C-alpha cells in the first residue's frame, strides 16, 4: 500500500518507548515482574500491576496467543478505517498470560472463521517509518 497512513497512531510514552522500538523490529515485548517470579503483564509500565513492585524488566514474548474474545466491526469508527470494514477487534490471550487488545488479520471475518481459543500468532503492520502495530493472524 503506497497511500499515506490516515488512521490515528499510537503515541509512545516514556514507559512504552521500548515496546514501540521493538515493534518496529517486528518483535513483541512485555514487562515482567521479578518480585512475582516473572509474571508478564501488559500494557507496559514500570510498576507491576500484580504487586506494585518496581523490580520489573522487559522480556520478549513468543508472539503466540489464543483468541479470547472479538467483535466484527462493520461501521468504521473513523474515516481512516472505511476501506477496512469489516475488520476484527479482539482481545487475545498471550502464551505468557497477559490479555491484549488488538486486531485479527483474516481474509473473511465471519463468526465461523473466528473461534474462541483458536491459535494465533503476531504479525506487524508497518503504519509509518516509526510505528509498527502488532496484530494477530490465525496460525
Residues in contact with Zn ion by CB under 5 A are: 33, 35-36, 48, 50-51, 53
**Closer residue to Zn ion (CB): 36 or 131:** 36
For 11, the enclosing helix (H) or strand (E) is none
Nearer to Zn ion, 50 or 139 (CB): 50
CB of 56 to Zn ion, least distance (A): 8
Residue 36 or 118 having the CB closest to Zn ion: 36
Cell reading at 27: 518483535
CB of 122 to Zn ion, least distance (A): 24
Report, in Å, the least distance between residue 40 CB and Zn ion.
Answer: 10
Quickly list DSSP for 61-87. Answer: ---EEEEEEEEEE-S-SSGGGGGG-SE
Amino acid at each position: 500500500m503506497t497511500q499515506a497512513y490516515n488512521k490515528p497512531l499510537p503515541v509512545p510514552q516514556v514507559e512504552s518507548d521500548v515496546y514501540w522500538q521493538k515493534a518496529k523490529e517486528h518483535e513483541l515485548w512485555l514487562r515482567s515482574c521479578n518480585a512475582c517470579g516473572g509474571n508478564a503483564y501488559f500494557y507496559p509500565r514500570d510498576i507491576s500491576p500484580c504487586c506494585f513492585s518496581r523490580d520489573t524488566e522487559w522480556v520478549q514474548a513468543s508472539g503466540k496467543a489464543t483468541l479470547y474474545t472479538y467483535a466484527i466491526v462493520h461501521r468504521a469508527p473513523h474515516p481512516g478505517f472505511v476501506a477496512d470494514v469489516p475488520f476484527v477487534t479482539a482481545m487475545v490471550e498471550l502464551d505468557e498470560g497477559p490479555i491484549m487488545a488488538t486486531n485479527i488479520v483474516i481474509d473473511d471475518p465471519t463468526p465461523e472463521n473466528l473461534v474462541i481459543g483458536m491459535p494465533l500468532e503476531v504479525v506487524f503492520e508497518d503504519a509509518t517509518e516509526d510505528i509498527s502495530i502488532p496484530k494477530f493472524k490465525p496460525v
